[in-house]
Amino acid sequence: MTLARQLAQRITAMSYETLPPEVGYWCRIAVLDTVGVTLAGSLEEAPRLVEDVLDLQSGEGPCLVFGSARRVRPLDAALVNGTAAHALDFDNTAKNLGGHVSAVMVPALIAAGEAFGASGREVLLAHAAGYEVGARIGRCVNPYHTERGWHPTATIGVFAVASACARLLGLTTAETETALVIAASHAAGIKANFGTMTKPLHAGQCARGGLLAVLLARKGYTANPEAFEHKQGFFKVFNGEGNYDAARALEGWKDWEIASPGASYKLYPCCYSTHAAVEAALNLVRRHGPFDTRTVARVDSWTPARGLAHTDRPDPDSVLAAKFSVQYCVARALMHGKVVLEHFEGDAWRDPAVRELLPRVHATPYTGKPFADDDPFDAEVKVTLTDGRTFSEKVDRPLGRTSDNPIPPEYLKAKFENCASRVLAPPAVAAVCSGIESLEQVGSMREFTRLLEPAAVVAKPVRQAVKGGVA
């Protein structure tokens, strides 16, 4: 029996009634976080350019383009909203998938839910199904897959989207199998494009590709059921012989990945590989007071080589590049005692104060015994002052890294409110938040997205740039 068929059997066997309470809780948190960052991300240039190229006209379909009054076809909504969901790099990640997970699933699920009349309860079940499949395929190929240069958010996330949408639309086992193997031909995304608009486009294309695979399978489209294990299939093409373990996809199905290790959530709107270093720098500020950057002789940041490969950017040349510069993120943390959206908007990356500090921030890989072989997201930061004093701080895991170190719910709600208020008026923000907290009671996703319609949209979106180094 093919791997796709065995996964399909597990997907179709899932029911909402059998979801443990903690799974439902984490799925609601994932939707809350993703809707928030998508609303804020809808103001970014990347999704707007995608929408312009598609030349979408309002009224072409039932699916809302987040942050607007336009309704379009489901595949177009998945692409635009999926790009918006990842535009700020503020969305959650899955440890075993090796990348962002809800940003690719939630836009596709909401679009499909609007188009086909799904309920909030069905969306929660579908999200759980997609998370499990994506994480388990990630187990098969990581860390080699991501170290090779693939972007797992897209290359593995597309299977999460296909699984989720297949469960949402009630596909049969055979149809779900076909959707998964069609999705294998939509797997794409290289890390060379990190720090550019193309990285969030990976998420948008993934959301669209996974949903398209499901819609085609539903119509009887054909594909090779051995697309995973074939000699020219997903595993061998993407990882090469001997660099994957397909059996891991079927292990531990009595345990829920979304509950443990769970998703990792972000408090800082930048690449997750910078977060431990950011947190170490923030701890230094908390414990030793704000640093006068004129007295800082040198800053050293040590992070695992895997993350440093795409975050060693001593001279970022755009706001997107700044999100992938551990030097920039650490500098902001030391300067302000916080790292916030405004540090990655407009011309904030040109701020003279941060540009003056950047040459003194040095990022190198940790060359001793790895902090954590299985989950390298640790860091150490040392500040050396001109008078010779040094201060250092080490972070074993940034707050929010897996469900073992969760961000308090009130922090996640505050994050949602901050993101959503950039597009929606306060009453609408509260209504959306309440709707997600009781999503299992929402009768249709079209009903839910009415909360995002024009009356709720702020006339002038909040886009406050940072000037002169002041947040």
Q: Are residues 247 and 295 in the same domain?
A: no
Give the pLDDT score at 402. 87
Q: What is the band of 471 on the pLDDT scale with cuts at 50, 70, 90?
A: very low
Residue 429 lies in a domain: no
Q: Are residues 205 and 126 in the same domain?
A: yes
Domain boundary among 331, 364, 395: 395
Q: What is the band of 397 on the pLDDT scale with cuts at 50, 70, 90?
A: confident
CB 188 within 8 A of CB 155: yes
Q: Are residues 89 and 129 in the same domain?
A: yes
Q: CA 73, 75, 77, 78: dihedral to nearest 10 degrees?
A: 160
Q: Are residues 49 and 169 in the same domain?
A: yes
Q: Are residues 233 and 337 in the same domain?
A: no
The CATH number covering residue 244 comes to: 1.10.4100.10
Give the pLDDT score at 461. 40
Domain boundary among 264, 290, 314: 264
Residue 23 lies in a domain: yes
Give the pLDDT score at 326. 98
Q: Is the pLDDT of residue 455 over 50?
A: yes
Total domains in the fold of the chain:
2
Give the pLDDT score at 374. 62
Q: Are residues 98 and 233 in the same domain?
A: yes
Structure confidence by residue, pLDDT tens digits, 276-321: 999 999 999 999 988 899 999 999 999 999 899 999 999 999 999 9
The CATH number covering residue 301 comes to: 3.30.1330.120
Structure confidence by residue, pLDDT tens digits, 200-232: 999 999 999 999 999 999 999 999 999 999 999
Residue 77 lies in a domain: yes
Name the 3-class secondary structure at 302.
Answer: strand
CB 245 within 8 A of CB 228: no
Query: pTM here?
Result: 0.90
Residue 460 lies in a domain: no
Residue 428 lies in a domain: no
Comparing CA positions, the residue from 182, 74, 64, 169 lying closest to residue 126 is 169
Residue 318 lies in a domain: yes
Q: Is the pLDDT of residue 468 over 70?
A: no
Domain boundary among 247, 264, 281: 264
Give the position of tokens 């009634």. Answer: 17
Q: Are residues 194 and 176 in the same domain?
A: yes
Give the pLDDT score at 367. 67
Q: Which two tokens stand for residue 261?
A: 């290790």
Q: Are residues 192 and 288 in the same domain?
A: no
Q: Which two tokens stand for residue 284?
A: 């230094």
Determine the structural domain holding residue 343 and report its residue range: 272-395
Instruction: In whole angstroms, give the CA distance from residue 392 to residue 411.
Output: 26
Residue 223 lies in a domain: yes
Q: Are residues 276 and 260 in the same domain?
A: no
CB 361 within 8 A of CB 330: yes
Q: Are residues 227 and 290 in the same domain?
A: no
Q: Which two tokens stand for residue 456?
A: 């709720």
Q: Are residues 101 and 176 in the same domain?
A: yes
Residue 470 lies in a domain: no
Q: What is the band of 453 on the pLDDT scale with cuts at 50, 70, 90?
A: confident
Q: Are residues 203 and 81 in the same domain?
A: yes
